Amino acid sequence: MRVVITGGAGFLGSHLCDLLLRRGDRVVCVDDLSTGRLENLRDAARHPAFRFVECDVTRGLDVPGPVDAVAHLASPASPPDYLRRPLQTLAAGSRGAEHALLLARRHGARFLLASTSEVYGSPQVHPQTEEYWGHVNPIGPRSVYDESKRFAEALTTAYRRTLGVDTGIVRIFNTYGPRMRADDGRVVSNFITQALSGRPVTVYGSGEQTRSFCYVDDLVRGLAAMLDSDESGPVNLGNPGEFTVAELAGLVRRLTGSAAPVDFRPLPQDDPPRRRPAVERAARTLGWVPVVGLEQGLRQTIDWFRGRSGELREAEPRDAGLTVTG
């Protein structure tokens, strides 16, 4: 296939580029580099089937040549990024998503929306199944991200029902791994950066709130499986292993050998108390299950961060007090 990936220079997008190139697809990576990084594309750029286009998809998206699939991943995804760029985040889930849908429609291509577990908000159903409609504060601090993805899901579904576009929606739960930015404000990168730098590890609230953590290699396998399927979704993609934030902090401190203290801070508004995906639909419709356990994935992620000592020294994690979940 020739696949267009919006947000392809980001953490998830760049790994998806690599996976598709390895299996023989051609890839057009579209990114405005507002949160993505060209260095994430170092491996992909050496491949003859790869092309990079610097473009803000909220302003339009036109890719010459054949297009077999469009994967819309473009959006700020970490709390400091979407709180710093609220209007751009909303635009990515509205205008950006529609421009990507229009491209898919013009070419009769498969369209994949990368949505998020944030559509479940502070859930009243546990674990979260795809049938659950969520419990979201539409004007809270997370709303610019949550509601942009909820709107993108509605828009994608309308294009499928009304215009016959071949669409699929995945809801991504906490994903981590190499290429996370040291300062992106997500809980895994924050803890690793703080532990390796000897800074206090910041835990919000009591640390008893739970999250489920999926290693990036597992996650992008799920994205590729969704691209290859005719499943409309939504389909949860995440690792159903459930850990408290305090357990994650302790595990990171142990694996890094850090004696950094844990700094407990007040719990922010709308922080979800529990989050765990039900992934039976992904197993049934996509044949997908995660295989990388948390300790193995953290070891690999920590090793990657150890090789970036300069970035660790310069980066002060931009902790917004929100533990992003997708």
pLDDT in tens, 188-235: 999 999 999 999 999 988 899 999 999 999 999 999 999 999 999 999
State residue 251's pLDDT score.
97
Cross-strand pairs, 214: 175
Whole-angstrom distance, CA of residue 248 vs CA of residue 21: 33
Torsional class of 125: left (φ above 0), alpha (ψ -120 to 50), beta (otherwise): beta
State residue 16's pLDDT score.
98
177-212+240-275+291-314 has which fold?
UDP-galactose 4-epimerase; domain 1 (3.90.25)
Active-site residue, from 82, 120, 132, 145: 145
Strands (DSSP E) found in 122-232: 167-172, 175-176, 201-204, 210-211, 214-215
State residue 325's pLDDT score.
44
Residue 303's contacts (CB-CB under 8 Å, 6 or more residues apart) are none
Return the SS3 of 199. Answer: coil
- β-pairing, 210-211 vs 243-244, is antiparallel
Per-domain residue ranges for the chain? 2-174+215-237, 177-212+240-275+291-314
Any catalytic annotation for residue 145? yes
Low-confidence ranges of the chain (pLDDT < 50): 319-325
Whole-angstrom distance, CA of residue 30 vs CA of residue 264: 39
The alpha carbon dihedral of 25, 30, 33, 38 has a sign of positive
State residue 266's pLDDT score.
83
Q: Is 2-174+215-237 CATH 1.10.275.10?
A: no
